[in-house]
Amino acid sequence: MTDTKLVDLLTLEKIEQGLFRGQSWDLGFRALFGGQVLGQALAAAQLTLPEGRLAHSFHSYFLLPGDANHPVLFDVENVRDGRSFSTRRIKAIQHGKNIFYMTASFQQPEEGLEHQFAQMPDVPPPESIEPDIKFYDDCLHDMSQRMRETIGYHKPIDMRTVQAIDPYKPQIQAPNRYIWMKAQEVLHGNVDLNQTMLAYASDYHFLATSLQPHGISVRNKNLRMATIDHAMWFHHPFNFDDWLLYCAQSPFSGGARGLVRGQFFDRQGRLVASTMQEGLMRQIGEKP
């Protein structure tokens, strides 16, 4: 899987006006990776825009688990094209059912008042941290052929977690997580592609931050986790083929749900994107 390229996954086939098809990767989860649908839905909307308009936000709901063994259809509705903003509603379809909805807003770049009161945490640089994937590469000889295949699909994003968490030995920790991330591919300053790749990556290890105060591993067989909704805001253009720090925090969990919020900083400390997500965190035996 060394030739696996995320740009290929995010390059969609046009079927007809406003209708696109994306291929799927099996990352070894119980269902289709949510980040794939986020990135592909955003990519589908980008293909319908007036020239020069860039995403500044999207809001999405996951309705049904996706099937990682089948492609996904994306139906894009042109809600509005104004003088400065465009709005698109994107529906993801598998097996004749709607599995996901996104509403995305795009803007013609313009100057405006600026401030930033978000501060980048003081963490070790990515060069001093081992890649997360090394934990699994070291165990490849004990894995089945299918698991080796799925590991390959995780490699297009280089992720390096500050104070990495052992999934086999969970401990009670504060609900904070810091992850250096960057794409392995050269993106040549393509703003649209940078945004779709970051949307894809933003779902990695995000909801799992809500488990940390409870000392429960994502591998716990009595746990059911699924994303309910995911929102993202893009503040500045960025280069995802350079390192970004993903700072995730969970301020609340309850009612079999966890809430997480995230911030992406570039190496200069500039806040380039923000995220929010709520997801199901149900232990078997709880009432539905």
* Catalytic residue selected from 36, 40, 94, 227: 227
Which position among 132, 192, 203, 266 bears the catalytic label? 203
Ranges of the chain whose pLDDT falls below 50: 1-2, 287-288
Say what the pLDDT of residue 1 is.
41
| Length of the chain, in residues | 288
66-77 pLDDT per residue, tens? 999 999 999 999
- Of 53, 50, 62, nearest to 105 by C-alpha is 53
As assigned by CATH, the class of the 6-109+129-283 domain is mainly beta
The pLDDT, as a whole number, for residue 221 is 84
Q: What is the pLDDT of residues 184-233, one digit of tens each?
A: 999 999 999 999 999 999 999 999 999 999 998 888 888 999 999 999 99
Greatest alpha-carbon pair distance for the chain in Å reads 57
Check if 203 is active-site.
yes
For the chain, the structural domain boundaries read 6-109+129-283
Which pLDDT value is given to residue 162?
Answer: 95
The catalytically annotated residue of 40, 161, 196, 277 is 277
